[in-house]
Amino acid sequence: MSKYEQKDIFSEVTYQSYLSQTYLLPPGVCNLLNPAAIYANNEISLRDVEIYGFDYDYTLAQYSNLLHSMIFNTARDLLIEQYKYPEGLKKYDYLPGFAIRGLHYDVQKSLLMKIDAFHYVQLGTAYRGLKPVPDEEVIELYGGTQHIPLYQMSDFYGKGPSIKQFMDIFSLPEMTLLSSVIDYFINHGIEFDQVHLYKDISDAIKDVHVKGMMYKWIEKDMEKYILHGDETYAVLNRLVNLNKKLFLITNSPFSFVDKGMKHMVGKNWRDLFDMVIVQADKPTFFTDRRKPFRKLDDKGSLQWDKINKLEKGKIYKQGNLFDFLRLTGWRGSKVLYFGDHLYSDLADLMLRHGWRTGAIVPELEPEIRIINTEQYMHSLTWQQALTGLLERMQVDAESKQVLLEWMQERQEIRSLTKNLFNPQFGSIFRTFHNPTYFSRRLIRFSDIYMASISCLLNYDVNFTFFPRRTPLQHEAPLWMDQLCTAKILTHTA
């Protein structure tokens, strides 16, 4: 077959292949991924782990999405009542499907956007207010490129000054409120200072937490807001029965944690833990040596004792990791700590102290369910096939028109695939083809990751997690795109 005959066959069968491509998918290829599995970035054997540590919010305690609506509404009302923002903001309600975790916000440009592991904006995912910004405008705003110089504009923890990364699950209502307020101001022609607006909204959200409003809502109706408490009890009880030591380090106050743990685990929950540290002020807990531990009594009142040892069953406030290590001797890979915030919970423990780390990523479960659908698998397989065809046919000048059609089709399928996860921003883990900046941090700061700590119940306490060897680009001469291309050629021959 000549190259011209091959081109003609490809142009004729492309669309028909897409509509009837089940032959590209081996039987049983869907539902390969288990949403309740634990996934490994680094080899780790639980046999070596003697001590298990936990964060509280979104690690031991999983919360209903109803909490996000309450945070949004309360912060919105604070803006109106205390910061004197327009009453018209009352018409905005929380949009559960608008934002995803891991997005970046350019304060000066009022842009909320998704950035990949190489610091490039994923085109089609930049929003000012609740409306997308055209790709051409985004490129122009950054000097003719999609690249964002994050090392100049943001610190290690993603906190600015120019660009902020939203890594906390609690930041979902903050992103939505930020976008809603900007949307209102733009629609009503109201000029605003971008820095002041960002700070006001950030402060309003912070007030909801710092002033204890969120804690009161949860304490008042734990059945409504706290999910899967029985699973938390099962995990902790199992570890204790296997003679593992447990500790808790959280930024939340004792009274809140105490009520939540009693709800999930029972009134004697403290008997399960060797150490309990509240209001720890992470991430500075892991880096600053200056704050000493303070002991609390059973009612949560501060004691004045000098802390020379950390005792089982006692509650401690603040402190720092350096004193914690000195007083406990819990160092290195025998410690495994779980948290949901990649920066505040895991980064310093992984990079500075050599603890093993487990990331709790609730978004993993719904994303895997989407990945397991035939629609997703068909789209992904066809994208890979088109990519392989584009790469091979580009040397043929006679194929120019077909290549342009394939490029357009590939872009359309990529957009459809993105929309399966989130119409605005797509998957938390991927841009069109690259890992997201969030994924890059997830891989760097966690040995293992999972949707919830209940996933531990699916594994033996001596289980070893092995990361799969995925091919580097130079190691994969016969990777998926070529495999799919070969199958198309076979099918059309």
- Whether the pLDDT of residue 360 is over 70: the answer is yes
Question: Model confidence over 80-118: pLDDT tens digits?
Answer: 999 999 999 999 999 999 999 999 999 999 999 999 999
CA atoms within 13 A on the CB side of 40: 15
Question: Model confidence over 186-205: pLDDT tens digits?
Answer: 999 999 999 999 999 999 99
Question: Model confidence over 309-332: pLDDT tens digits?
Answer: 999 989 999 999 999 999 999 999
Residue recorded with tokens 């900007």? 182
- The Cα–Cα gap between 266 and 436 comes to 40
Q: Average the pLDDT over each of 9-18, 29-38, 153-162, 465-474 and give the range with the smallest value.
A: 9-18
Average pLDDT value for the chain: 89
| Residues near 287 by beta carbon (within 8 Å), at least 6 away in sequence | 321, 348, 352
Question: Model confidence over 375-409: pLDDT tens digits?
Answer: 999 999 899 888 888 888 887 767 788 888 999 99
pLDDT, position 8: 47
298 carries an active-site annotation: no
- Whether the pLDDT of residue 275 is over 50: the answer is yes
**Per the annotation, where are the binding residues for GMP?**
57
**Per the annotation, where are the binding residues for Mg(2+)?**
55, 340
55 carries an active-site annotation: yes
Number of Cβ within a 10 Å radius of residue 250:
23
As beta bridge partners, residue 120 has: 147
pLDDT tier, 233 (very low <50, low <70, confident <90, very high otherwise): very high
Contact 205, 175 (CB under 8 A): no
Q: Which of 338, 419, 341 is nearest to 169 (CA)?
A: 341
Name the active-site residue from 57, 258, 274, 348.
57
- The Cα–Cα gap between 425 and 291 comes to 40
pLDDT tier, 477 (very low <50, low <70, confident <90, very high otherwise): low
- Whether the pLDDT of residue 282 is over 90: the answer is yes
Mean pLDDT of 220-236: 95
Long-range contact pairs involving 81-86 (C-beta distance under 8 Å, separation at least 24) = 82/204, 83/200, 83/204, 85/181, 85/200, 86/184, 86/188, 86/190
| Residues near 246 by beta carbon (within 8 Å), at least 6 away in sequence | 51, 52, 53, 54, 236, 239, 240, 272, 273, 274
Name the active-site residue from 55, 106, 116, 481.
55
